Amino acid sequence: MLSSFWKQNKRIKNAGISCLLLVLFSITGCSIKQPRQAAIASAHPLATQAGFEILHQGGNVFDAAVAVSAALAVVEPSGSGLGGGGFWLLHRESDELDIMIDGREKAPLAAHKDMFLDASGEAKKQLSLNGALAAGIPGMPAGLVHLSEKYGKLPLATSLQPAIRYAEQGFKIDTRHQKLLGMRSAVLNQHPETAAIFLDKGRVPEKGSILRQTDLVKTLKIIAAQGKAGFYAGLIADKLVIAVQQGGGIWTLDDLHHYQIVERTPVTGSYQGIKVTSAALPSSGGIVLLEALNILETVDLATMDSITRKHMIVEAMRHAYHDRALYLGDADFIDVPVERLINKQYAYGLATTLRTDQALPSEYLTGHTQAKQGGRNTTHFSIIDNEGNRVAATLSINFPFGAGLVAEGTGVVLNNEMDDFVSAKDSGNGYGLVGGDANAIAPEKRMLSSMTPTFLEDSERIAVLGTPGGSRIISMVLLATLDFAAGYSPESWVKVKRFHHQYIPDQILYEKAGLTSEEINGLQALGHQLKQYYNYGNMQAVQLNKATDSLSAASDHRGEGLASVQRINE
Ligand code: GLY
């Protein structure tokens, strides 16, 4: 609806410009074509450049998304890769299609509910976090092939070229890569194949040293030549299954043969007249985001002092994450009351429990007790062109360098997404997230995610945004959405000072300087527990201003990414 409104306005505006030129130059039958432009923001400069390279070769934004995704798998191997999965949220302007490609990992066929429990029913945390048993069946290669074949203009082999070149020629590693290697080096050192690729005699390599990934080159070339079968059957599939089984895992060739992406209808809603389009299940992202926004629509944030405003946002997060824990899981396996959860009346009911003078203890809500936090992971990129075609993609292998295991001879880093299931009741996962049967492990089920690739649209602007950050992804996108609603630019959304509440643990997590000392004191006086955290997230955002046909882009200063707007050669 809003898109049609924009199109109509754009046509009127373009017609106006055409008429003006017609008069000025006395040309009849001329057609004025806007120069093609695009904006890309990603977590690594080489990935952003890969996207533009493909656009300059005549690709559309979907080809560019294939190129950026594959490039990130090479140049940011800590965050995502062929051994992981993710969600690509697409909008195609010609037919106003909104769709989400669900390339989330699936539990292997031999997986079962209690696979990470010891004899006394306690969770064996290491098994769902590190090594072969932690790995779900990857969806990234199938997602890339589907995105390219169904939505792209160029052959898959062309869109994969930049990634292949980066893996072959190598690239200089940066500080962020070093830091994430450092965090996971003990696990990586347990796997000689992984250590040989990423470490230097067991240590984190010097900044600026060149990382070449020769086995990954071969794998990418096989996928480029054979498409999906290049990964899920044949030589690569054999190597993956052998490596997983030798590492104590349970994958079989059947798991790989069975893997399918799913096209899903995104979750949609509105906040103060802004159309919100976001990730559907098996990501909790869109539902939790919309539930929190619906609750916040009942209060006038703009007129509140900053302590009350932050308190209200925290209370909305608490309720929305509480419902995440109670109800959300893979809707192919369980019934999820999605319509109710994103219904405004439901949120208005929850909002009646909000008090400006007091925090609502999470223990007053039904549910769980465990408390724990952690994790840095995942990646996000955003692309838009001046026609409004766009992609928001959040991709992951979960923890930095996933399960820490590279399948021998493939260069593929395996994910540890099995930890995103609930493996023991009332035991938090690596991000402290709790849940219940809705997110219990079952063969071929997809584990619940927090990834929140999102589009926002009002009468003047279209935004594409998202971020890595585990359970905190949704609260970061929520804060950025409120900033968009307040009229600010992508530069501002990615800079917003971050704070987070996820129901359990019952505490506000805030980044360094995320809250002022006055806000900390004020929130404590309302009954909140607070904990300072590192500066988290790596938001990548782009915007199209419909009125001016101008694009803008911003990459989170907490990361080392690149946001750029370019005119595309045609
Ligand atoms: N692995 C992080 C997420 O999907 O939420």
pLDDT digits 0-9 by tens, 67-82? 999 999 999 999 999 9
For residue 536, report the distance from its CA to the centre of ligand 1, in Å. Answer: 15
Lowest-pLDDT choice from 27-41, 200-214, 235-249, 514-528: 27-41
Quote the pLDDT of residue 32. Answer: 59
Q: Whose CA is nearest to atom 4 of ligand 1?
A: 449
User: Averaged over 242-251, what is the pLDDT?
Assistant: 98
Question: What is the 3 state secondary structure string of 440-489?
Answer: ECCCCCECCECCCCEEEECCCEEEEEECCCHHHHHHHHHHHHHHHHCCCC
Confidence of residue 5 (pLDDT cuts 50, 70, 90): very low
Range with the lowest mean pLDDT among 56-65, 96-105, 433-442?
433-442
Helix (H, G, I), strand (E, B) or coil at 415: coil
Confidence at residue 368, expressed as pLDDT on a 0 to 100 scale: 59
Mean pLDDT of 195-199: 98
The alpha carbon of 19 and the centre of ligand 1 are apart by a number of angstroms equal to: 51
Pairing of strands 412-413, 406-407: antiparallel
Q: Whose CA is nearest to atom 3 of ligand 1?
A: 449
CA-nearest residue for atom 1, ligand 1, is 398
Instruction: Please determine, for residue 24, whether its predicted confidence score (pLDDT) is greater than 60.
Output: no
Find the catalytic residue in 158, 378, 410, 481: 378
CA of 398 to the centre of ligand 1 (A): 6
Q: Provide the pLDDT confidence category of residue 20 given band limits of 50, 70 and 90.
A: very low
User: What pLDDT sits at residue 3?
Assistant: 46
Predicted local distance difference test score (pLDDT) of residue 55 = 98
Quote the ligand 1 centre to 320 CA distance (angstroms).
Answer: 17
Q: What is the pLDDT of residue 1?
A: 37
Q: Which of 429, 434, 473 to mutate to test the pocket of ligand 1 (most atoms within 8 A of CB)?
A: 473
Q: What's residue 422's pLDDT?
A: 94
Pocket test for ligand 1, best of 78, 106, 278, 396 (most atoms within 8 A of CB): 396
Average pLDDT, the chain: 93
What is the DSSP code string of 535-559? -----EEEEEETTTTEEEEEE-TTS
Residue-wise pLDDT for 99-135, tens only, equals 999 999 999 999 999 999 999 888 888 999 999 999 9
Task: Report the residue among 420, 452, 474, 536 best suited for mutation to probe ligand 1: largest number of ligand atoms under 8 A from its CB.
Answer: 420
- For the packed helices 473-485 and 285-296, what is the interaxial angle rounded to 10 degrees? 40
Residues with CB under 6 A from ligand 1: 377-378, 396, 398, 417, 420, 449-451, 470
Query: Relative to the CA of 420, which ligand 1 atom is closest?
Result: 1
Atom of ligand 1 nearest to the CA of 394: 4
pLDDT at 89: 99
Pocket test for ligand 1, best of 129, 278, 449, 472 (most atoms within 8 A of CB): 449
* Residue 18 confidence class, pLDDT cut points 50, 70, 90: very low
Is 378 annotated in the active site?
yes
Res 434: pLDDT: 86
Question: What integer pLDDT is reported at residue 33 of this predicted model?
Answer: 64
Amino acid at 41: A
Under DSSP, the state recorded for 283 is B
Residue 420 CA, ligand 1 centroid: distance in Å: 7
Tokens standing for residue 374: 């952690």
Walk me through the domains of the chain, giving residue ranges and CATH numbers: 37-262+377-439 (no CATH), 267-374+468-539 (1.10.246.130)
pLDDT of residue 424: 84
Give me ligand 1 centre to Cα 158, in Å: 29
Task: List, for residues 340-394, the tens digit of each pLDDT value.
Answer: 999 999 999 999 999 999 999 998 897 655 544 333 579 999 999 999 999 999 9
Q: Ligand 1 centre and the CA of 468: distance in Å?
A: 8
What is the structure's pLDDT at 367?
67
Answering whether pTM is above 0.85, one says: yes
Percent of the chain whose pLDDT exceeds 90: 87
DSSP state of 65: H
The secondary structure of the chain in percent helix, strand, coil, rounded to multiples of 5, reads: 40, 20, 40
Cα(256)–Cα(231) distance, rounded to whole angstroms?
8
Is 289 within 8 Å of 474 (Cβ atoms)? yes
Predicted local distance difference test score (pLDDT) of residue 366: 75
Label residue 61 by pLDDT band (50, 70, 90): very high
Query: Does position 14 have pLDDT exceeding 90, yes or no?
Result: no
- pLDDT tens-digit readout, 300-353: 999 999 999 999 999 999 999 999 999 999 999 999 999 999 999 999 999 999
**Which atom belonging to ligand 1 lies closest to the Cα atom of 396?**
1
What distance in angstroms lies between residue 303's CA and the mean position of ligand 1's atoms?
35
